[in-house]
Amino acid sequence: MIYFDNASTTKPCEKSVRYLNEYLTDKFFNASSIYKQGIENKNQINNCKKIITKTLGVEFKDNVIFTGSATEANNLAINGSIKKNFKKLIFSEGEHPSVYNTALDLKNKGYNVEFIKLTKDGEVDVEDFKNKLSSDTNFISIMHVNNETGAINNLDKLIEIKNKICPNAIFHSDGVQAFGKIKFTLNSDIDFYTISAHKIHGPKGVGALYAKNKNKLNPIIFGGGQEYNLRSGTENVAGIMGFKGAIEDISYNTSASEIKKFIIDNLNKKFTVNGLNTSPYILSLSYKGINGETLVHMLESEDILISRGSACSGSKVGNRILTVMGLDKESVVGSIRLSFSRYNTIDEAKIVVEKLNEFANRLANL
């Protein structure tokens, strides 16, 4: 099997699995317990938080909150920080459903929500961002790397603009497709940043929210007061340790870039690449006149797994991101997404591009 759907989820690395098994079996203790074994597990959780902040390039000040997913972390960042008196909330049109649908819910509840346009390459339109900001903007959420196209937003530039117009506005970024994949130091003016374990070869069911100042947050889940009383529920020690193993195993190698370039260079020229300044791990393609879903299933019959796009939107017709980028209906219908990991190889890419060209030509000639 060739797996090119790593933006959906990744294969857990050996170290992550080893830590996961260790804390599911021998070290299964509740981290909130007061005996030695529980205290040791709590210390391990704090060590993982320190590793996360070190990887982000920020100071550790008890400011990482573990959640059950990045979706939950995004909801905590938004619903946990927005106040009733907030006057204007800003989101990009390219956000993951866990942010975009939360924004729509807030709009339905009466908040003044505005959406920033995307450029034809899938990045946030900086001029539209600048024009829609005002001194009464209280909250902004702009993702770091788009999960559909891999478009990379320049957070430093957006923060610079924000600080001139509405310096006190809260700035959140969904960093799920950036963390552990592209090298960066998190801008010190970002208030909240979301990450996920299963996108970087860790286990599913573990996300985290970096909070520059956790006092800006209110809980959205209530219970026993774990995670600074911001995310109650017994700590998923095994999952967090699996996350720790994945972070320790991060490798910014060049194999994804090489694979992506090889595929683009050898594709049938009727394929178009959606986006320019994109992550080396994600490749969005369109082929007018064919059905992308049919192409996905034809490749599946050859044990090659790719996708139409985000698994969180997989059951929906069309593609919201590609549409707001300005692609026509035929291009959206004919779109597919390939996404890579450090476990993929050029030999796999050769097979995939050969089958892509073969099956696309067959569909175009039906």
Active-site annotation, residues: 312
Q: Is 110 left (phi over 0), alpha (psi -120 to 50) or beta?
A: left
**Rounded distance between C-alpha atoms, residue 144 and residue 125, angstroms:** 14
Amino acid 103 reads A
Q: Distance from CA of residue 177 to its chain's centroid? A: 4
Q: CA separation (Å) from 107 to 79, 114, 202?
A: 12, 9, 34
**Rounded distance between C-alpha atoms, residue 20 and residue 12, angstroms:** 10
- Name the β-bridge partners of 304: 2
Helices (H), 109-196: 126-132, 155-165
116 secondary structure, DSSP code = E
Phi, psi of 91 (to 5 degrees): -135, 155
Q: Is 349 left (phi over 0), alpha (psi -120 to 50) or beta?
A: alpha
Phi, psi of 273 (to 5 degrees): -90, 130
